[in-house]
Structures are given as C-alpha cells and as structure tokens.
Amino acid sequence: MKSRVFKNGSYIWECKSSYTDPGGGGAINVAYLKGEIEDIENRWLIDGKPSGYYYVFPVNLVSNDARRELDRFISSYRGEVDINYYDRDDIQKIIKKLEKLSDMQSLVDYIKSIWMG
C-alpha cells in the first residue's frame, strides 16, 4: 500500500504499510520503518516540525522491535511534537474517535477502506 498523508493544520496523520508476508497483514518491516522515520526527521529539518504526527498502520501489527523504534522516535521529540502510532488492532478504536471529527472524514473513509478490504 502506498503511503497516504492527511493534514489538519499542523497535525499530520500518515497511513503506512509494509508487507512482510505474501498475504500482507503481518508485522511492519522494521528496516522499512527505520528508513521512513529517518525521512521524516530529514523533512522536519527543512520544513519544520508539526504540532502532532500520527502513524496509522491499517494492515500491520507493530512488533516489539518496531515498537522500540517508534518509542525512540517519540522520545527524541518529546515536548516538541506529539507523536503516536496505531496498528491494525487499534484501528477500530481510532475510527470511532475520528468519526467525531467531521473535517477529517476523508481520513476515516480511507482507513475504513483499507481495514475492511
């Protein structure tokens, strides 16, 4: 799945997936995730940091190794950028919360289409 970015002011939601098995839906590939985090950090050096940055992995799980990378990323910017992430097990919860934000309906619709196939 190609990455999709949704912005609302200075808050960014990015949907990402990596397929580590033929059927997809496995754990996010840690090498891919490291590269993506590095790209974001480089982008922030040029464009500045947003107020919030949220990763959504609609079809992947976050393994312990990926969680360590994401936690390092979060710790690096604590107090500067509100960073969080959601894997496929969190999708139901996030969809219910986002449906309350009428101006982010395109994000909700996109996540639903990926999650429900």
Q: What does pTM read for this prediction?
A: 0.73
Sheet arrangement for strand 82-86: 4-8, 11-15, 52-56, 82-86
Lowest mean pLDDT among 20-24, 49-53, 54-58: 20-24
Closest listed residue to residue 17, CA positions, set 3, 36, 6: 3
Average pLDDT of 56-70?
89
Q: Report the C-alpha gap between 90 and 115 in whole angstroms.
A: 11
Hunting for tokens 């990323």 — which residue is that? 73
Structural domain contains residue 13: yes
CATH number of the domain bearing residue 68: 3.30.750
User: What does the pLDDT look like over 2-38, one tens digit per residue?
Assistant: 678 888 788 898 888 876 554 545 888 889 899 999 9
Write down the pLDDT at residue 22.
46
Q: Report the C-alpha gap between 8 and 52 in whole angstroms.
A: 10
| Structural domain total, the chain | 1
Domain range for 55 is 4-109
